[in-house]
Amino acid sequence: MLYSVRPIPPLRPKGFSDLVANLLGSRGICDDVSAQAFVSPDYDAHVHDPFLMKDMDRAVERLYQAIRNNEYIVIFSDYDADGIPGGALLHDLLRAVGYTRFQNYIPHRHDEGFGLNTSAIDSFKEAGTTLLITVDCGIADQEEIAHAASLGIDVIVTDHHVPILPLSAAYAVLDPKQADCTYPEKMLCGSGVAFKYIQAFLARYRDEFSVSIGWEKWLLDLVGIATLSDMVPLVGENRVFAYYGLKVLRKTRRPGLRALYRTLRITASHLSEDDIGFSITPRINAASRMGEPEHAFRLLVTTDEAEAQSLVTILERVNRERKGTVAALVKEIRRVIAERNFDDKEVIVIGNPEWRPALLGLAANSFADEYGKPVFLWGRDGDGIIKGSCRAGGGPSVLLLMEAARGAFIDFGGHHASGGFSVASEAIHSLEDALLNAFRVLAHSHTEIPESPTADASIGLEYVTWNTYDDIDRLAPYGVGNPKPLFIFRDGVIADIRPFGKEKNHTELVLTDASGRTLSAIQFFSSPDAYGDRLQKGRRIDVVGHIEKSTFKRYPELRLRIIDIV
């Protein structure tokens, strides 16, 4: 594949090395003040007043009233790595103010699906609930909120998804994406909104409940997990939450997270956004995908060391089961792809009523990356509704595709790279034709023609040093809106080729630079055979990839993470 190199931006901030200045400028951070704020976030200066959010005052007063009147409160959170930490945040707040008449409720992903449902609300009424607070969900649940209101339950929605219809029956709605909300940061994750709620409550009532100044900053470990997990842009206030979230995660007081670090061999002081994305988030999500979200929640809130270790053991078992189930699902999908031959089709659409929708996103991601085209997979949930997940795989936006094929869906949502959808049973057999037609319409209109991949810079292998790593690491944490810098590393000579892993499906190259220094370069889930005769000892190659620090060997090691070899 041909890679272009990003041109030097015309405007760059001063006071940085040429490399970092170019990286900042290419990310649209051109003036000195913005650049300093980006590389050195200031919690006090760069976090907004929570009372700028619509309905915040009303939401804070209602929670205070519930506590003072000894009302029964339910915290209803989504079941993913944004909603579960968000529910834990409010749990910790209520514990901190000495309140115990509440419960956290996380719906069963397969049986109850996303958002509020009337059966759960009826059970809350039976328990005497008078206040229901949602986390990372609720903004689309107009009927369910109206049902709760009819039962005398006040509903406070905290969410970050785009509103669809007015929630006139809700007591208060905290969502920065509301059209008439003036809150400056529109792209908070669900836990981010819940944290703003906590900030506001403590700003008003901290002294009354004897909560120490700054106590809430210890909650940033959970906000950091959620912000990094939910793929929100890591700029503005989200960057502050990710940046300080990682700092708190490195010294977290939570026994559950410390036990998880030990089991996963994560060195707390070196914990990075990659550890969150590749190790911690999958285990939180695996719990809900396998129908056991409460274990992930308990892991985050427990104060007992023995329970923490027990919960980690359970989550590891659940994660292994999830991997096994997904592996079997991938094998079945691969067989279907081989039988049907999708080579001449621009979109892969496959489904089976026996497949569990909660696992399809993982499989869709795998095949989208492998085939480089959009993949739509569907199954049937516990209520008999056909639901699915989709991934772009380097092709056009799946959200644009679904918009162009809107009539084929009951509902859908997502963003450029991934999404979810539901389809009427009678329409599922025409879904493939609708998406193929949508793809061709977009292609004909020249919408989102895929561009050749672009590297941030081209540098000689001899410039891969700890000084270079430390320099560009000032831009971390990386994620959506702030991608990890991608380089073309020139003129490395292959000194050795080492497949590794139980199945020998990973590759390590030992490269030599012009001075004779050696450097390790690795790629997971790609064997040396994948590159054919391009990998030969003594051959000079260019590597496309990232500079990274590995602590897997219990000491820092500088290496390259291979994306491609050109």
pLDDT digits (tens, 9 = 90+) for 387-412: 999 998 877 888 889 989 999 998 88
Q: Which residues pair with 76 in a beta bridge?
A: 105, 134
Would strands 518-523 and 557-565 be described as parallel, antiparallel, or unpaired? parallel
Task: Supply the pLDDT for residue 551.
Answer: 79
- 234, 227 in Cβ contact below 8 A? yes
Q: Phi, psi (5° rounding) for residue 32?
A: -65, -40
Asked whether the predicted pLDDT for residue 450 surpasses 80, the reply is no
- 171, 155 in Cβ contact below 8 A? yes
Task: Supply the pLDDT for residue 446.
Answer: 54
In this prediction, what percent of the chain has a pLDDT beyond 70? 98
Number of Cβ within 10 Å of residue 168's Cβ equals 10
Task: Supply the pLDDT for residue 449.
Answer: 46
All CATH 3.90.1640.30 domain ranges in the chain, comma separated: 50-216
> CA 537, CA 471: separation in Å to the nearest integer?
32
Residues 6+ apart with CB under 8 A from 305: 255, 259
Fold category of 342-444 in CATH: Diaminopimelate Epimerase; Chain A, domain 1 (3.10.310)
All CATH 2.40.50.460 domain ranges in the chain, comma separated: 453-565
Structure tokens at 262: 């030990």
> CA 70, CA 62: separation in Å to the nearest integer?
12
Residue type at 262?
R
> CA 368, CA 309: separation in Å to the nearest integer?
36
Fold category of 453-565 in CATH: OB fold (Dihydrolipoamide Acetyltransferase, E2P) (2.40.50)
Stated pTM of the model: 0.86
- The CATH code of the domain at 50-216 is 3.90.1640.30
pLDDT in tens, 180-232: 999 999 999 999 999 999 999 999 999 999 999 999 999 999 999 999 998 88
Least confident of 221-235, 435-449, 494-508: 435-449
All CATH 3.10.310.30 domain ranges in the chain, comma separated: 342-444
Least confident of 215-224, 350-359, 439-448, 521-530: 439-448
